[in-house]
Amino acid sequence: MTATVTLGAMRPLEDAQEFVLGSCPPKPPVEVARADASGLVLAAAVVSAEVVPPFDNTAVDGYAVRSVDVAEVPVELTVVGEIAAGAAPDRPVGPGETVRIMTGAPMPDGADAVVMVEDSEHLGTDADGNERVRLSASVSAGAAVRGAGDDVQVGDEIFSAGVVITPAVEAVLASVNAQTVSVHPRLKVAVLSTGDELIDDGSPLELGQIRESNKTMLAGMLAESGCDVVDLGVVRDDEAELERVLRSAALECDAIVSSGGVSMGDYDVVKAVLGEIADMTWMQMAIKPAKPFAFGTLTRDDGTRVPIFGLPGNPVSSLVSYELMARPALRRMMGHRRLTRTSLVAIADADFRRQPDGKVHFARVNGVFADDGRYHVVPVSAQGSHQLAATASADAMAVIPDGEGVERNGEVAVLMLRG
């Protein structure tokens, strides 16, 4: 059974976000190969079963010595061998002896420090054919030696649940031989645009037609958010076809994102179809742009509820709505703990004038860190909800509370869109 709820009064953004996030819990964990886990979020802590490094090794190229032999310098020692990275020592270092050693090579028994090659002078061989070296630096025990387990010990919790697997994290996992990890899976998200007026084949436009752009933008934003994107193209204003596409997408995908057909106007195909097949809430959020927004779930036969995000048709509204509503929810489904963009307190280098209207305004801005160490912002050239060309270059969105606005040189909160 489906239900459609329409909220006429404007809903505070925080309430709308809480409602959507509460309906989008993290996906159950799966075990995957480490090589396939890049960008995913750990669902369980990783405990090391190995030490890193696995043996005492040198941090520099030089000579492995007994520190007592270099207490007074310069000193001449007999070179009794050489150890390259990846090789094993074949004899200990005794009194008056040293071994030439390369960075990362294991320390030989008897040696407890390394003198850098820059502090050495090769002397050739003596009368008995022994290679000799003069060392000019005195070092204490442990100098230039990386001890076994200096980075990681057996039993260490190296990463907790919620950590994103970045290249550096993946490298650490490799270093402790973690072949598989428990993660929240990457989402497969369907994206579509609807409307007979949309043209996406490059053909000449007739009066009343426009180029499709929202789906193109949203597909890229979904990919940037870490989702696998299923592009369903443009669906014409045909109820049977739209229902078929949506039901098929719900069987294949973890979530659906559409643009258009969510305003409070008269009959719309999107509203009609979603109202029949899904549990939908149509709301008016107290923000500008992106006031209209729809959210609901389409239930599969097995009981799985697939979230549907209905974004506005105006391109800037669609972008803002995705950033404030869809992106945080999709990130939560993938196990992320940090759901929103980075927020800063910036300095307004221009007036952000507005009139009280009961809404929070999200002005698109360009920003730069100035010599004072503060982030300074100015509005992009055009703020209309249809003017995507200006918004496309925005670095952030300035949050302008209801009221008269923010004056030049005043402080304003911003949500970063880049960097």
> pLDDT tens across 75-98, in order?
999 999 999 999 999 999 999 999
Q: What residue type is 110 in one-letter code?
A: G
Q: How far apart are alpha carbons 340 and 27 in whole angstroms? A: 18
Q: What's the CATH architecture for 57-146?
A: Beta Complex (2.170)
Tens digit of each residue's pLDDT (9 = 90 or more) over 331-378: 999 999 999 999 999 999 999 999 999 999 999 999 999 999 999 999
What pLDDT shows up at residue 75?
Answer: 98
pLDDT band at 54 (very low <50, low <70, confident <90, very high): very high
Within 8 A by CB and 6+ apart from 387, the residues are: 316
Q: By the 8 A CB rule, do 302 and 280 touch?
A: no
Task: Give the burial string for 79-106 (b: 16+ CB within 10 Å, else e).
Answer: bbbebeeeeebeeebeeebbbbbbebbb
The DSSP code for 318 is: H
The ranges of the chain annotated as CATH 2.40.340.10 are 343-416
The strand ranges marked E within 43-174 are 46-47, 57-58, 62-65, 75-83, 97-101, 113-116, 120-125, 131-135, 145-146, 157-159
What pLDDT shows up at residue 395?
Answer: 97
pLDDT band at 262 (very low <50, low <70, confident <90, very high): confident
Closest CA to 245 of 166, 307, 199, 190: 190
Q: How many other C-beta atoms lie within 10 A of the C-beta of residue 366?
A: 16
Mean of all residue pLDDT scores within the chain? 95
Q: How many other C-beta atoms lie within 10 A of the C-beta of residue 322?
A: 24
Which pairs with CB-CB distance under 8 Å and at least 24 residues apart come from 227-232? 227/186, 227/187, 227/188, 227/189, 227/330, 227/334, 228/186, 228/187, 228/188, 228/189, 229/189, 229/191, 230/188, 230/189, 230/190, 230/191, 231/191, 231/192, 232/190, 232/191, 232/192
What pLDDT shows up at residue 9?
Answer: 81
pLDDT-wise least confident of 59-68, 204-213, 324-333 = 204-213
Residue 266, pLDDT > 80, answer no
What pLDDT shows up at residue 5?
Answer: 62
Question: What would you report as the CA-atom Rg of the chain, rounded to the nearest whole angstrom?
Answer: 31
Task: Give the burial string for 44-54 (b: 16+ CB within 10 Å, else e).
Answer: eebebeebbbe
pLDDT band at 418 (very low <50, low <70, confident <90, very high): confident
Q: How far apart are alpha carbons 108 and 99 in whole angstroms? A: 8
Tens digit of each residue's pLDDT (9 = 90 or more) over 3-52: 566 556 899 999 999 999 999 999 999 999 999 999 999 999 999 999 99
Q: How far apart are alpha carbons 40 and 394 in whole angstroms? A: 27
Q: How far apart are alpha carbons 63 and 101 in whole angstroms? A: 6
Hey, which CATH number is domain 4-27+186-333, 3.40.980.10, 3.40.50.20, 3.60.110.10, 3.40.228.10?
3.40.980.10
pLDDT band at 195 (very low <50, low <70, confident <90, very high): confident
Structural tokens at position 57 = 């090794």
pLDDT band at 56 (very low <50, low <70, confident <90, very high): very high
Q: What are phi and psi of 359, to 5 degrees?
A: -120, 155
CA of residue 285 relative to chain centroid, distance: 27
The DSSP code for 34 is: G
What percent of the chain has a predicted confidence (pLDDT) above 90?
A: 93
Q: How far apart are alpha carbons 321 and 329 in whole angstroms? A: 12
Backbone torsion region of residue 177, taken as left when φ is above 0, otherwise alpha when ψ lies between -120 and 50, otherwise beta: left
Hey, which CATH number is domain 343-416, 1.10.238.10, 3.30.465.10, 1.10.10.10, 2.40.340.10?
2.40.340.10
What percent of the chain has a predicted confidence (pLDDT) above 70?
A: 97
pLDDT band at 260 (very low <50, low <70, confident <90, very high): confident
CATH 3.90.105.10 fits 32-52+151-184, yes or no: yes
The DSSP code for 392 is: T
What pLDDT shows up at residue 263?
Answer: 75
The ranges of the chain annotated as CATH 3.90.105.10 are 32-52+151-184
The ranges of the chain annotated as CATH 2.170.190.11 are 57-146
The ranges of the chain annotated as CATH 3.40.980.10 are 4-27+186-333
